[in-house]
Chains A and B, each alone.
With several copies, the nearest count.
Chain A
Amino acid sequence: MLTVKLFAALRERLECASLTVDATGISRVSELKQVLAARSPKWQRELSHNDVLCAVNQQLAASDMPLQAGDEVAFFPPVTGG
């Protein structure tokens, strides 16, 4: 399984903070995004924004980052702390 986390505006708009996804057939972040986008047009739309950031195991990661079962993958809008 992969654990997926969502934060801030993304969490609010998708009404979901965390879910698990079967890791079978998912080898990269881009493939996980496709699987999530298939859930509904809303997921499709929210995850397709250019500025959505991704972290794999709590490190910022690009779309081609390889994934394996057990990974924690987070999607979130640009950060605005400080």
Chain B
Amino acid sequence: MQPRIQVQTTDFELSEEYQRLRDNPACGAVVTFTGLVRELVQGNLTGMTLEHYPGMTESALTDICQQAAQRWELGSITVIHRVGSLGLNDQIVFVGVAAAHRQAAFMAAEFIMDYLKTRAPFWKQEHTTAGSYWVDAKTKDQLAAARWHTSEAEG
């Protein structure tokens, strides 16, 4: 299975990605995740800039998808990540997984997001009315990714 990987400045259409994923008579389940630019709790976000490491980004995402395809029986995978300038409520990232069964589709989509958050070379800079700040990595994301190492050891 060849994952569809896109790193782009332009927006994407969920409906087009979904049509591509559901076009497989053996798949009974499609799970999609979309990440959006959300308001900060303080409410003073004006937008963000996403930097990445061209070349490494694509290979890191491909590697993550291949790991997912080894762990679960999947029909197809799509990962789209935007870079450059984004505004409030803009789409940042899309992960879509089609599979015969829903458990595999859910698990794979979560796994891809957890690994993407900790292993794919993207960096967010938030622009607020008080200045621009690089976003700090979250311990929560490290812990989310670490769950999958444990089940690897157990499996």
Chain A positions near chain B (C-beta within 8 angstroms): 5, 7-9, 12, 51, 55, 58-60, 74, 76-82
Contact = CB atoms under 8 A, between A and B. Distances in A.
Contacts of B56: 55, 58-59, 74
B55 interface: yes
Question: Which bucket holds chain B's interface residue count?
Answer: 20 to 34
B4 interface: no
Interface of B is mostly: mixed
A78 B141 CA distance: 11
Interface of B: 35, 50-53, 55-56, 59-60, 81, 92-93, 113, 116-125, 134-138, 141
Contacts of B35: 82
Nearest to B142: A78
Nearest to A57: B56
B116 A81 contact: yes
